[in-house]
Amino acid sequence: MRVSAELIEFSDSINPSKGYISKGTELVEDVYTKLKGVHNSGTLSRFKVDRESYGGSVGKKTSVIYPDFDCVVFLNNVKPPLTTFLKELKSF
């Protein structure tokens, strides 16, 4: 089966641009870095990040039209409720 040029062009037109994905990835990596290290205030994060992952349409590379970045962070030694973590996250 051959794919027509029009179908390929349409497919490209609904995919997010490389610039959008690049900028979004940069912002997410900035959040991950702040969670792992030093905050703007100069204090070290009290949380130990085990790993992070992209989820959702961008993570699965299935994003079209309105892509978003779903981010998952796995923390060591943190148990619910996550009130303290969320307060610190808001300080970023």
Domain of 46, in residue numbers: 5-90
User: pLDDT tens, 3-61?
Assistant: 788 877 887 778 888 898 899 889 888 888 877 775 555 667 777 888 888 888 888 88
CA nearest 67: which of 28, 30, 21, 13?
A: 21
* pTM for this prediction: 0.64
Q: How many domains does the chain have?
A: 1
Rounded distance between C-alpha atoms, residue 58 and residue 18, angstroms: 12
Rounded distance between C-alpha atoms, residue 83 and residue 35, angstroms: 15
Q: For 49-83, give the DSSP string.
A: EEEEEEEHHHHHT---SS---EEEEEEES--S--H
